[in-house]
A and B are shown apart, each in its own frame.
Chain A
């Protein structure tokens, strides 16, 4: 536990990738397989469900620290993180524990799940007594399911590969799919290349970069393939050996959630892997993301939902055909084979993502303008000669895949409520609620957390503190004075919201210090945007 806590501290202490990589390499080259397996499990972003109810944890921490409830809450508000608050409030730290991470997880953490409350309390107290302050913090993070540290999965993969002298790509592939944190799985991960079974395992997704440079830098338009950027869920359909697996980009296996797509497994030849977008789809056009949302997180799919929210896989790449890995081949070749395959299948739930044809950059610019009416987010540009890479890597000059999104919709709205942030932004007011005018009254319609620089957050934080009207727990109501331009990707009617609308991905574009609150936009303006957001009939 001590070594893992120290790794956590080292990763947390530095913002430099090089420093993080060195700390990871050092840990993985000396850790036992079973410990390394668990470390990888947590660092790669897997979150075991919370094993201890927050209520029990809070009560126990209050008892152990002898702090009254209100003071515990004040402390939590200042720290912004429950695990850290508790680590700071508990009395005299213990000596720390050199017991291996795997033993801490398997013998001390996992048995907590579902344990009777009395036993839970005794086990937690014992763990706290033993651990030092850093160990307590990391342990609290693990048991609350809130373990996160600023490393990407790709970086962890690279560190493990470097520590073991393997190709990072091979390790990344072995990590996709069902993977168990055990010594044997970890050893398999580090086995020499070749001869592995990969029945349901997907390939790492190739990710696009947002296009920020001028189009001319990409060279002739003829070198590029353009298609719509869909607003759905990125998915990979793996058909091998008579079985079918549908993976999301978050590496979640969702085959059962989308039976229409799963049924393709019976039609497609074995040894086929496709990359595409899971979309709610009807009559040759996408339905709004909100419709797809009805299908997400729903285990029971009644006929009503299936009829209201039909889905399709809009395919845009072919990664494997007849069991052959096509990823090193140029995109245009993969695309040609994909077209033939989709045509041959002839299934309504398998749609080919159409080519967007523009003979000049200007033509593409004009087509992109119409994105919103089509219910798409903009254009994707893929170099015709590009191989299918892994993750978000820039290969060659100018990159290989670009996402070229349309500018967001925007409104000028008034800040009305603020709440403190968490983690790095703890104790700063960073979470804001915005309102627009309706008949002389401000109606809240969106919450936004992102888009401001650190310096701007400081500025807004100071404004909030100086203009607080009331405090309700962690939330403050604020004098209606500060206007910000909010951007969002889409807007939908919503009966659940007071404003009657729900916006998608709201974020702050800029502070409109020049604008008095009285000149902020109105609800009527938002309702007008509703229509611009309607997909074309």
Chain B
């Protein structure tokens, strides 16, 4: 049985498109009307006419996109666009991230954007939304990707920091400035020592704090003159800081990279850091499967990541699954967490 004529979301050259509602979701080319799942650069771009996004993410979105015509809604609050009911539901990915629920005459589709199902102190937890069709990411869509719980992981980070502090060297952790960095701040044992942030991270910390997220006190590296403070500090910096002169001020340090890719030894070694912490704001394999199951959808569309693997596995398990073309992220195993890659926003930097 074919549903093609009624498909509520279609892949088009400009982005994922909802024909009856005449709007796009996270479009990659300029469009009149865009519904944004979250503020990462490959999902939220400049140049659209009107934006719709979850209110909790407003400050982050504005911090990244500047002056835009933005309509904010609360999670679960429905708006009607050209007769289509649209509501946003927590995706658990980063602050303000949302799944887009589209209801047209009782046919319900959910576009999940990027998501994770495990709890995160810096954003609202993922909420399963029932749908006829579910559009899922597949960044870590291989069964070798399974995360340990946040508690175990942050204990590991804290232990590493404590050991370094005792030895009088700084602990530099590279993490994406938006989302991952704040999650680390909220997760570590902040009684170990001072926490110093790179400017790119601190800008997002401000947006998080303004949005009501509780983060431990942080210092800007440029404001700390005392070397003794730096030598005991946890330093949170974007990956681009690795190997840069900015690190010189810390003297001796141990470094670490926080990413889901760190699960694999090869990726860890390629990064050439002392430690790899397996921390992702994407769902692991069990998380992806759980979210798909809980959506109760019979049709599943798979975007960016291990698309063919996920599609084949879902088909074998009895789902009506197929790939959906998108320009989110890129090749997935290059060691970069693609949704986060651009660290700074330059006007007109849309990837076309």
Contacts and interface: CB of A to CB of B under 8 A. Distances in A.
Contacts of A88: 143-146, 263-264
Contacts of A75: 142-144
Given A78-B264, A81-B265, A84-B264, A89 B312 contact: no
Interface in B257-301: 263-270, 272, 274-276
Contact of B144 (A16, A68, A85, A458): A85
Contacts of B267: 426-427
B275 A13 contact: yes
B352 interface: no
A65 B272 CA distance: 31
A71 B315 CA distance: 13
A428 B264 CA distance: 13
Interface residues of A, number: 33
B333 interface: yes
B67 interface: no
Interface string B133-164: 00000000011111000000000000000000
Most buried by A among B146, B265, B269, B274: B265
A465 interface: yes
Nearest to A84: B265
A389 B243 CA distance: 37
Nearest to B316: A68
B334 interface: yes
Given A12-B265, A71-B313, A454 B143 contact: no
Interface string A491-516: 00000000000000000000000000
A472 interface: no
B32 interface: no
Contacts of B270: 424-425, 428, 454
Interface in B293-335: 306, 309, 312-313, 316, 331, 333-334
Given A14-B274, A424-B270, A89 B265 contact: no
A128 to B, nearest CB: 15
Contacts of B274: 13-16, 19
Nearest to A454: B270
A458 B145 CA distance: 23
A154 B33 CA distance: 65
B143 A79 contact: no
B146 A458 contact: no
B143 A458 contact: no
A458 B313 contact: no
B101 to A, nearest CB: 31
B20 to A, nearest CB: 36
Nearest to A67: B143
Contacts of B309: 71, 74
Please indicate which of the listed interface residues A71, A78, A79, A84 has the most CB atoms of chain B within 10 Å of its own CB.
Answer: A78
B266 A80 contact: yes
A427 B333 contact: yes
Nearest to A16: B274
Contact of B266 (A16, A423, A454): A423
Contacts of B306: 74
A282 B306 CA distance: 59
Interface residues of B, number: 25
Contacts of B145: 88
B266 A89 contact: no
A263 B264 CA distance: 52
Nearest to A68: B316
B125 to A, nearest CB: 24
B153 to A, nearest CB: 13
B266 A425 contact: yes
Nearest to B274: A14
Contacts of A89: 143-144
B27 to A, nearest CB: 24
Given A79-B266, A88-B263, A15 B312 contact: no
Nearest to A426: B266
A137 B265 CA distance: 11
Interface centre among A75, A425, A454, A458 (most CB of B within 10 A): A75
A68 to B, nearest CB: 7
Contacts of A71: 142-143, 309, 312-313
Contacts of A13: 268, 274-276
A85 B265 CA distance: 10
Contacts of B333: 78, 427
Interface string A461-477: 11001000000000000
Interface string A82-120: 001100110000000000000000000000000000000
A487 B331 CA distance: 31
B331 A465 contact: yes
Contacts of A85: 144
B252 to A, nearest CB: 11
B334 A79 contact: no
B312 to A, nearest CB: 7
A392 B142 CA distance: 44
Contacts of A14: 274
A329 B13 CA distance: 77
Contact of A424 (B143, B146, B266, B313): B266
Contacts of A427: 264, 266-267, 333
A256 B14 CA distance: 72
Interface in A368-397: none
Interface in A190-204: none
A178 B330 CA distance: 53
A426 B264 contact: yes
* Residue among A15, A68, A79, A80 facing the most chain B CB atoms (10 A cut-off): A79
A423 B264 contact: no
A236 to B, nearest CB: 34
B312 A458 contact: no
B144 A70 contact: no
16 contacts: A12-B265, A12-B269, A13-B276, A15-B274, A67-B143, A68-B313, A71-B143, A71-B312, A74-B306, A74-B309, A75-B144, A88-B143, A88-B145, A89-B143, A424-B265, A461-B334
Interface of B: 142-146, 263-270, 272, 274-276, 306, 309, 312-313, 316, 331, 333-334
The 10 closest A-B pairs by CB, nearest first: A426-B266, A88-B144, A424-B269, A427-B333, A75-B144, A74-B309, A80-B266, A424-B266, A75-B142, A14-B274
Given A78-B333, A79-B266, 17 more contacts: A12-B265, A68-B316, A71-B142, A71-B312, A74-B306, A75-B142, A79-B144, A79-B264, A80-B264, A84-B264, A88-B263, A424-B266, A426-B266, A427-B267, A428-B266, A428-B270, A462-B331
